[in-house]
Structure formats: structure tokens, C-alpha cells
Chains A and B, each alone.
Chain A
């Protein structure tokens, strides 16, 4: 990570105004907030979720998310708001769309392909397999 980013982060977190813990109106709001901010990426400390990051910008964005929640915006609208400003990078979970089909469906296809290969291999090797299970004594460990 570039040195300036690191220094920036640390100086900001040290000199910034207090990171006030949030007072939620109720448990449901708290749960929704935590879940939503866990689905967003901190744009500064990029390998942390928005929920976990201590960066100043993460705090600002969390406050903004809360404000938008209280304005009545849906989770989707809040995500769109952030994507319009910070690009899709801010989504921790990549959206499912043509550019990410390979990502989301690739593993399933790999598994399927592997299963097909497995079936072929097993079919081929089954020729000559004993008709009944072998006796215990022939089983070596």
C-alpha cells in the first residue's frame, strides 16, 4: 500500500473528530445497518467492509448510509447511491450481470464439468468390477 495512503489513514484517524458510537432507534434498525454496511467495501482500507473499518471516510459513509436509511431509502437505493459516487468497487458482493456471469456461475460449471469427467472415469473403470462387494479380509488399510 502506498506510504501516503497509510500515513493519511493514520493521521486522519488520530486527528479526526470523535468517532461517536451510534444510537439506533431500535434493534431492527441496528441489524439492518450492520448487515448493509457489511455488504459494502471500505473505499480506503479496501480489504475491510464498511462495517469494520476505522477509517474516517468509512465513518462518514456509515453516517451517510444511516441517514439514507432514515430517509426511507431501500437497501438497493442506498447501494445505487454509493455506486454512482464510488463505482461498483464499493460493493463487497459483485452484482450478478453479464460481466460477472463467469464469476458467479463459473464454479458451478467447473463442478458440473468435473462431475461429468468423474462419471465418465467411473463408468470406464467399472468394467470388471466385482459383482458383489469383496469380503472384509481382502480389504487392506
Chain B
């Protein structure tokens, strides 16, 4: 009975979203107050209905209701409680419902926090978000109903994929989706502005905090996904350029360009058209990502079970939303450039270059991800595009960005005498070069790659510090939240760059055949293998190894790599043992038993400074959040 109620709630939400798509939009068009006023209540009502539906699906999992097909396919009577919550979003139908819920949440938040906006703007923005919600709700109800019954009900479920039975699963998808879906707000503001015809800087000011928050959540989601893959998958990688990872990275890059472009449009009135286009592009890439994961068009370890019918549905939805908004852009985008003119050397130009590089990187990733599809369609054979391609081209495109980054904050608007910032930054450039050279010669395992990474990080940090010093000297330490956020995010980039280059060039791994009592030396650490024993878990039976690690005779860690056999599905998972600190990670994974005598194959890793990658990402995310709280967004706009 309850699952049917869940479906009913969803249908009601569908009707509400239909009303939300139509009424306020017509009201804004006709200046009809009461119709415009329906937007907020409809947004809240829609959220309520979807929340009820989501809660009922969660309840079905908690109660082990195996008469619901989705529960039977993704859960099991032995599944621990916390994973029953996360199992809701572990496969296609449920994760879609989560997407819908989060979209409704963002819509309601915009409804709640838009008191300062004129009624027609609120009406149009909420209506656009309603249209998006309508599409997703229709997709869910008509092709991906999570409440479908399995009659007769299963005796027990097929269990959630053991790879997903981990704490990372609790946070990664929700954070990611909050980000993806959050770009719908900037999108809705852009589309509303295009429909309205009033494309001044006003709408940008309103949408900036929302966009920053969405981008920050996406940053967290991606960083967490990377960290989770690292410790869960057992072979020490942290990014694989997998199609689905790429699908999250593209909106991130475009989103980064968007927040910069919005800043320019808000402060100077320039780049209205570009900002609008980027806002459309960011959300379009979110939708594209949803399509790629669920349509079966690309092979990926992340992909949900594919279904061409679903694929076509999303594609048509994608075509309508993106095609429609781009058509609207073609017709209604501002013809005249506003804002003050600017010279070739000016902050405006540098920010344009920044956005060009970010967007080109996103385009490159799109090209590489879809190329196998293109090649197949043109009968060019089965080509595969992997990390060697993406990694190389990404570094080539990002290198200029790293070089230009410190200039941006130091340049003036409209015109800058380039020799000035060059003079200011010259000592930092020298310091970076020295740091690079010192790294190359003094770092024991350092290579040219390590040197470049350190040099790049020092350069960015130095330039950022220079700006900070300058600001403190001239305006007496008055930093706006915007500046603080910027400094934090840019410093985060430096930390990230350092982490990537150091770990990629100095990490070491060794495969060994180990018998109890054997000891292995790796980078000054001694790994002493003590053997493997059986160890039962809540829903698995594990082979649990013990490895004691010493450095200079002092005990450092006791590590327990495991190989778990899950009882429900019989799958075997490798759980690597990790001992991490900011300066290095020690990583031990159990391979296969060598023979009957108790020997095992072990993989040992030492990964220096790998955690800087995620620290840097965290700093970037935090920076984005801090910017959103700047007082300027709560002030009434003074048009320049």
C-alpha cells in the first residue's frame, strides 16, 4: 500500500510541476499578479509531495519490503542499516528520485530566498525550474518507476553492490547531485532573463551566490568521489578519466568559468552574453552527464544499467531544454555590448582568457569522451580514449592558466600597464623557479615533473600572497568575503597542483609474494607481513591480513587489508588498508593466495603528499562557499 502511495505522491508532484511550469510564466507574460503568486506555493507543495515519495521509498528499504522490485534488486536482509538508507540512490530509479528531490529542494529554496526580487522575475525563474522538474518527474514516472512491484515478492534481495557499501556512498552522490542540480538555478535565471528581454546585470547579482554554492557542492562531490575510488578500489588511483567522471568534470570546469564570468558581468556590466551562454552550458553539461550515465551509450564502471528507451527519453528532454534555451539565446541575446570598454591588457581580457582555457578543457574532455561513439558511428573502428590522452591534453591546456592566474587579481579593470604586475610578481616567479630547481636536485625521488609541480604551486601561492599583502597595505586589511573566498580557492589550486605532480612522479609500488614473517623495504618503511586469518563481518566473510609498518625501527601503523566475500551475492571485494597523513599515504592491498601454504600476493604502495589533492579541492570548495556569503549580494544593486 505504501509504495503505491509513493507513486501517487509522485504523480501529484508531476501535476504540481506542470502547474508551476505554466501558471507563473503566463502570469509574468500578462502581468497577472495572482497567477505569478502561485509560483512560491507550488514550489513548496511540489517539494512536499516529492519528499513524501522519497521518504516512502526509504521506508520500503528500511522495512526490507522485497515486494518492491527496486528494493529487491538493491538490498538484502543482511544489509546494515546505514546502507539501507544509501541503497535508495544506489541504482538508476532511486538515484533519479534523489535528483528530482534535490531539484525540488533548490526550487523551494529559490522560492524562499527571493523576497528582494520582483514578482515577474521570481515567477519566470520558478517556472523554468518547474519545467525542468516536470521533465525529470515525467521521466521517472513513465520509464523509471521506483515503486514498481515484484509479484510475488522476493524472499530476499539481491543485495546492494558491495563496492557501494561504504561510507563514501553516504555522501558522494548527494553532494554531487546538489551541485549538478544547483546549476539549474543559474540556468533558470539566464533563461528567465532571456524571456524577459531585460538582460542587465541585475539577474547576475541574484544568481551569483546560488551558482557559487552549487559549484562548491559539485567540487566536494567530485573530490569525495575521487577519494572514495582511491581507498575503495584497491589499486591506488584517484582519477581515471572514466566517462562518468568526465561527465561530472565538464560542468565543473564550465561552472568555474561561469562564476568568473558572472563576477565580471555583475561588477562591470561586460560579458552579459557570455555569462548567459555559460550558465546554459553548465546546466546542459549536467543534463548531458545524466544522459551518458543512464543511456548505455558509453561503457563505464559507473554506468547504471542501460536502456535505449530511457536513453531516447533523456536525449529528447536534453534536446528540448538545451536546444530551446540556445534558440532563445540566438533570438534574444543582447545585441549591444554594455559595460565599459577595455584594453588588451586588462583584468577583463585576462578573465576572458581564463574562461577560454577552462571551456576549451571542457570541450577537449567532451571530444575525448564521445570520440569512441563518433568513431563507431563513422565506421572508423573501435577506438578507445584513455588517461594518456586526457591527462596530456589537460595539462597542456591548464599550464597557461597556472601561469596567468596570479595576474588576474593584481590587474586593474579596463587597462593595466602590464609591466607593473610583472614587476610585482617577478620575485615570486624567481622563487618558483628556484623551488623547482631545488626540488629537482634535492628531492630524493624527484623528477622534472615534481619540479614543475612545486614551481607551479609556489608561483600561484606567491602571486596570491602578493595580492593579499597589497590589499592589506592599501586598504587596511579590509577583505571582503569575495576576496577571502578567491584567495582560498586560488590557494587551493596551488595545493592541488602540488599534490598531483608530487604524487604522480614520486609514488612507488611493489608487488611481493609474502609469507608470514616476511619483511619488505619500501622508501624507508618496513612492511612486516604477519599472515592472514578469517574474519566475519555483518554481511561478509573476510580474509584479513595483518601488516605491521615500521620506520627507523619505530612502529608506524598496523594495517589490515581484507578480501571480503559477500554472503548474499557471492562477490569478492578487495578492501585496501590505508594509513594516511598529509605527507604520505601507506597503502597495502591483498592480492591472491599464492598456494596452500599461507603465502599471499601483496601490493604495497607509498604515495607521498597525495592528500594535498583532496585538501586543495576542499579549499576550492570552501572558497566558493565563502564568496556566496559576501555582503554585496544582500545589498540593493547600484547599476554602474
* A interface with B by C-beta (< 8 Å): 1, 6, 10, 13-14, 16, 18-22, 39, 41, 45-49, 52, 54, 87-94, 99-100, 102-104, 106-107, 110-111, 114-115, 118, 121-134, 136, 139-141
Contact = CB atoms under 8 A, between A and B. Distances in A.
Interface string B377-398: 0001111111111000100010
26 contacts: A18-B594, A19-B601, A22-B511, A45-B301, A47-B300, A48-B240, A52-B235, A54-B574, A99-B380, A99-B381, A99-B383, A103-B371, A103-B389, A106-B364, A107-B363, A114-B360, A118-B356, A124-B337, A126-B341, A126-B342, A129-B341, A129-B343, A130-B415, A132-B417, A136-B474, A141-B267
Given A46-B299, A100-B383, A129-B342, A92 B592 contact: no
Contact of B240 (A47, A111, A125, A126): A47
B482 A88 contact: no
Contacts of B415: 129-134
Contact of A125 (B303, B337, B385): B337
A123 B483 CA distance: 29
A22 to B, nearest CB: 7
A114 B359 contact: yes
A20 B594 contact: yes
Contacts of A22: 511
B266 to A, nearest CB: 11
Contact of A89 (B380, B382, B397, B414): B382
Interface in B219-244: 234-235, 237, 240, 242
Contacts of B78: none
Contacts of B417: 132-133
Nearest to B591: A19
Nearest to A91: B384
A123 B352 CA distance: 13
A111 B389 contact: no
A128 B341 CA distance: 6
Nearest to A131: B415
Nearest to B367: A106
B570 interface: yes
Contacts of B388: 39, 92-93
B360 A111 contact: yes
Q: B337, B343, B363, B591: which has the most chain A beta carbons within 10 Å? A: B343
A21 B593 CA distance: 11
Contacts of B340: 129
Nearest to A124: B337
Nearest to B388: A93
Nearest to A98: B380
Given A18-B594, A21-B601, A47-B300, A41 B384 contact: yes
Interface string B601-634: 1100000000000000000000000000000000
A107 B360 contact: yes
Nearest to A14: B572
Nearest to A86: B382
Nearest to A128: B341
B368 interface: yes
Contact of B352 (A99, A122, A124): A122
A90 B380 CA distance: 15
A89 B299 CA distance: 13
Q: B368, B420, B512: which has the most chain A beta carbons within 10 Å? A: B368
Closest 3 CB pairs of A and B: A93-B388, A21-B511, A107-B364
Interface in B566-613: 570-572, 574, 591-595, 601-602
Contact of B383 (A94, A106, A110): A94
Nearest to A114: B356
B349 interface: yes
A27 B414 CA distance: 57
B384 A122 contact: no
A38 to B, nearest CB: 8
Nearest to B299: A46
Contacts of A18: 592-595, 601
Interface in B281-313: 299-301, 303
B385 A94 contact: yes
B342 A88 contact: no
B570 A10 contact: yes
Interface string B422-462: 00000000000000000000000000000000000000000
A104 B390 CA distance: 10
Q: B242, B386, B512: which has the most chain A beta carbons within 10 Å? A: B386
B352 A118 contact: yes
Given A126-B344, A140-B267, 8 more contacts: A19-B601, A92-B386, A106-B364, A114-B356, A118-B356, A126-B342, A129-B346, A134-B414
B332 interface: no
A7 B342 CA distance: 62
A84 to B, nearest CB: 14
A130 B592 CA distance: 71
A99 B381 CA distance: 9
B488 to A, nearest CB: 16
Contacts of A89: 382-384
A88 B381 contact: yes
A128 B346 CA distance: 13
B361 to A, nearest CB: 8
A131 B417 CA distance: 10
A84 B156 CA distance: 46
A52 B383 contact: no
Contacts of B602: 21
Contacts of A125: 270, 337, 341-342, 348
A121 B352 CA distance: 10
A14 B342 CA distance: 66
Contacts of B412: 133-134, 136, 139
